[in-house]
Structure 1
Amino acid sequence: MTTQQLDRGAHRIAFRDEGDGLPVLCLHSLAGSLRMWDGAARVLARHYRVLRCDARGHGASTGTVPYTVEGTARDALALLDALGIARYAVLGISMGGQAAMHLALAAPHRVAALVLANTSAGALPDAQGRLAQTKARIEEIGYERFAAEYVASRFADGYASRGYADYLREALALGAQRYVATLRSILAQDLSAELWRLRVPVLLISGTADVSTTPERMRALGALLPTSRTLELEGAGHFSCLDQPAQFIAGALEFFSSNTKES
């Protein structure tokens, strides 16, 4: 599968486009890349046109700071427009879930269905403290060790998880500056007062072993989304699509099939 580039002037967005049918846009998590969706894309592309892109500064995308969730959403919308895609579904995890919410709020009439995995509306009371702790930890042990800790903490089985080595390579390539800049934007999010406006079908996927976005926090997100339902994956961590890929994609496929028939 060939990776293509969308020229946005100051930066370029790397993307892959495969399959036919209703487009499904896949947005990845912090320090990851479009490769996070390799397994899911192989299954989704049997039924849909699958479009995945690297966030600014991640993977093969280029760009300079600031790295923001809002910028990722704008880049994704520009990509959809450049490809002439008027209506689509969105699948976003963690940071990608926040970007997906921004995208849906910006153009709700274009979104057929929305899957949000392991994410939140923001408005975290400990946001500034967490950012300070992250910066202090990187300074204390160095970014290479920090990245190893971070990636392990997001998988249910830690360092032994399948997919750990691949994700760690992406995180190391991101680098400390871009990691911190992007995390700052993630922690600054507060979509809690806006989500009531969304009337598209929403599936929330959580993992019982997610220490970052716990099932309780996902249920709190669901309370803000009047058209949502929840799928909780037993034994999945924050990267639920990698920890429990079969259950994850089965749930997403069933949801898309049930909610996009007229799109």
Structure 2
Amino acid sequence: MPQFDVAGATLTYDDEGPRDAPEVPLVFVHGWTANRHRWDHQTAHFSERRRVIRLDLRGHGESSGAGVRTIAELAYDVLALLDHLQVERFALVGHSMGGMIAQTIALAHPARVERLVLVGSIARMAYSRGRGLLMAASTLVPFRLFVAANIRRAFAPGHPREEIRAHIRASAGTPREVVMTLYGAMRAFDVLDRAGEIRTPTLMVHGYHDVQLPVRQMLRMARVWPDAVVRILDAGHELPLERPAELTDALDRFLTEARPLLTENN
């Protein structure tokens, strides 16, 4: 597996699919305490016909490094990797915190982002009361219990328990410093007042049962976002794991059928 060094971190990434595909590369960015394998279903599907790039953010999965304090610094890492791979223009997909990174990139470098997809993400962090209480209690309970509680409530009721346990084990490997520092970074994230600046054709996919970042917060963002396409799925916050095929289908439709309509309107 290839790796890339940037600003004190070593990023592990995958770069798959044909380099000569006519479409721009598709870049996937995972969320808080997750890793690049959140996108296994989408990578297997899209890499058959286009270049697909995904990475473990610093301190996550198989990437090393810590010390990052803001979403903008994580966005810098992603762009540094794409520059290293000589990818100038791309379609960008981000889940949860990854969607915040994607918005940051789209605002700072609009010419580089051809299509933008936000999966279970919002433009202004506003935790539910339950999530706020959980975060407040994070210093009072063992770290593993804190991580487990966050992962469990990310899934809609009825999701297989063994799958949830597997993702708890994977997330527990994220260092405490990274988890808590990036919680602060997400809490400080707020680009809602700039949402109207993003003219990139955008798809927002959200779970109806999402209690981590409730759907009403996404709809608040969508109201001020030009040309946004909204899809609501019967799922919780972990759409790439709960509804992988439905999410892939939503991406496929947007990346193909949406292009002529949005180009005509621009």
TM-score by length of 1: 0.90
- Unaligned runs of at least 5 residues, structure 1: none
Q: How many Å separate the matches in 2 of 1:126 and 1:154? A: 12
In the alignment, is the contact (CA less than 8 A) between 2:9 and 2:64 conserved in 1?
yes
How far has the Cα of 1:66 moved from its partner? Answer: 2.8
Alignment identity in percent?
Answer: 28
Q: Is the contact made by 2:128 and 2:212 (CA closer than 8 Å) also made in structure 1?
A: no
Whether the aligned pair in 1 keeps the contact of 2:128 and 2:214 (CA below 8 Å) is no
Q: Distance in 1 between matches of 2:165 and 2:14?
A: 22
CA contact (8 A) 1:113 1:259 kept: no
Aligned to 1:77: 79
Shift of 1:125: 7.8
User: How far apart, in 1, do the equivalents of 2:148 and 2:158 lie?
Assistant: 10
Q: Which residue pairs with 2:26 in the alignment?
A: 24
CA separation of 1:67 and 1:168: change in aligned 2, threshold 3 A: farther
Q: Which residue of 2 aligns with 1:52?
A: 54
Gaps of 5+ in 2: none
* Number of equivalences: 256
Name 1:249's counterpart in structure 2: 248
Alpha-carbon offset, residue 126 of structure 1? 7.4
- The Cα of 1:12 is off from its aligned counterpart by 1.4
C-alpha spacing 1:159/1:179, structure 2 compared with 1 (3 Å):
farther
Q: Give the structure 1 partner of residue 141 of structure 2.
A: 141
Checking the alignment, whether the CA contact within 8 Å between 1:67 and 1:178 is kept in structure 2 is no
Give the direction of change, closer, same or farther, for the CA distance of 1:67–1:34 in structure 2 (3 Å limit).
Answer: farther
Kindly provide the amino acid, as one letter, of the partner of residue 258 in structure 1: E
- Name whichever of 87-96 and 67-76 sits farther off: 67-76
Q: 1:201-212 alignment to 2 at 5 Å?
A: 201-212=201-212
Change (3 A) 1:156 1:125: closer
Cα distance in 2 for partners of 1:32, 1:221 equals: 24
Residue type of the alignment partner of 1:88:
F
**1:98 alignment partner in structure 2:** 100
Report how far residue 224 of structure 1 moved: 2.5
Alpha-carbon distance in 1 for matches of 2:162, 2:51: 27
Change (3 A) 1:135 1:247: closer
- Measured in 2, the distance between the counterparts of 1:74 and 1:138 equals 28
Distance across 2 between alignment mates of 1:178 and 1:225: 31
Contact 1:57 1:67 in 2 (8 A): no
Backbone CA RMSD of aligned residues: 2.1
**Runs ≥4 residues deviating over 6 A:** none
Q: Distance in 2 between matches of 1:143 and 1:34?
A: 22
What are the residue-to-residue correspondences of 1:68-217 with 2, within 5 Å? Answer: 68-124=70-126, 130=132, 133-157=133-157, 160-161=160-161, 163-217=163-217
Q: In 2, distance between residues paired with 1:34 and 1:200? A: 24
Q: 1:7 aligns with which of 5, 8, 11?
A: 5
The amino acid across from 2:88 in the alignment is A
Relative to structure 1, the CA distance from residue 108 to residue 119 in structure 2 (aligned partners, 3 Å threshold; closer, same or farther) is same
Distance 1:242 1:186, change over 3 A: same
Distance 1:186 1:147, change over 3 A: same
Q: 1:191 and 1:139 mapped to 2: Cα distance?
A: 28
Deviation at 1:10, TM superposition (A): 1.2
Give the Cα–Cα distance (whole angstroms) in 2 for the partners of residues 85 and 66 of structure 1. Answer: 24
With the length of structure 2 as denominator, give the TM-score of the two structures. Answer: 0.89
How far residue 7 of structure 1 moved from its aligned partner, in angstroms, is 0.9
